[in-house]
Amino acid sequence: GAMVNKPGCYFMLRYKEAKNRFFPTECMFTWYLEGYHRPAINHPDHVVYQIIASLLSDGRTSRLYKSLVEKKQIALSAAGFSGFPGEKYPNLMLFYALTAPGHTVEEVEEGLREEIERLKQEPVSEQELERVKTQARAGLLRSLDSNMGMARSLVEYQVKTGDWRNLFKELDTISAVTKEDIMRVAKGTFTRENRTIGRILPSNQ
């Protein structure tokens, strides 16, 4: 595709085989987005995908935030999640970062890719894995704190998985995730062929 040359900025979406698509939009900042295709919620590795997304991109203790924002200072923010736009059907594990002034979107892309490759090649520490698993279990339990929250969660799991009991089974599944599971799923998921990237750029770039 060709760039849409209009005031404001444009959004570029590059699919698996480096095909470019450009969509005019309006923005003031430079964003980088990277998504990887993953299976639906009923897949046996569903929770492993969630744990991987949390390790990389959930909050200030995540690897992407500590690397891109705190250490390299090439991004103002870095985050992501698993299950875009929804988990019932095959979806995306999506990461995104806001490029810091004086740095390029290419630097952000390279930095994000480095952290993804590290997850594929180096086993996560037991301490880091337990921290993320504890957060995942706590988040699930918080959703059950009230009658309204429990009703909402049970309906959600009934609709998405076909059985509301899977909500409680997920607590055990989270506990069972190992560092070997993390590396196995990361190696199978984070490949060039499975990757879609997006850039939101001011039109003068």
Whether 105 maps to a domain, the answer reads yes
pLDDT, position 28: 74
**How far is the CA of 88 from the CAs of 84, 125, 140, 156, 162, in angstroms?**
10, 31, 17, 10, 10
Picking from 2, 86, 101, 84, the residue whose alpha carbon sits closest to that of residue 35 is 84
pLDDT, position 6: 40
Contact present, 42 and 161 (Cβ < 8 Å): yes
Whether 22 maps to a domain, the answer reads yes
The predicted model gives 120-129 an average pLDDT of 96
Whether 3 maps to a domain, the answer reads no
Whether 2 maps to a domain, the answer reads no
Query: Which residues, other chains included, contact 41 with Cβ-Cβ below 8 Å and sequence gap of 6+?
Result: 83, 87, 88, 160, 161
Whether 88 maps to a domain, the answer reads yes
Share of the chain above pLDDT 90, in %: 74
Sign of CA dihedral 199, 201, 203, 205: negative
Domains identified in the chain, total number? 1
Amino acid at 48: V
How many CB atoms sit inside 10 A of residue 173's CB? 16
pLDDT, position 205: 56
Residue 76 maps to which CATH number? Answer: 3.30.830.10
Q: Mind listing the pLDDT tens digit for each residue in 9-44?
A: 445 555 554 444 545 456 678 899 999 999 999 999
Whether 153 maps to a domain, the answer reads yes
Whether 46 maps to a domain, the answer reads yes
Whether 1 maps to a domain, the answer reads no
**Res. 51: pLDDT tops 80:** yes
Q: Which of 35-39, 43-47, 82-86 has the lowest mean pLDDT?
A: 82-86
Share of the chain above pLDDT 70, in %: 85
Distance, CA of 183 to CA of 117 (rounded, Å):
10
Query: Which tokens in the block code for residue 130?
Result: 């337990």
pLDDT, position 58: 86
> What residue numbers bound the domain in which 48 lies?
9-202
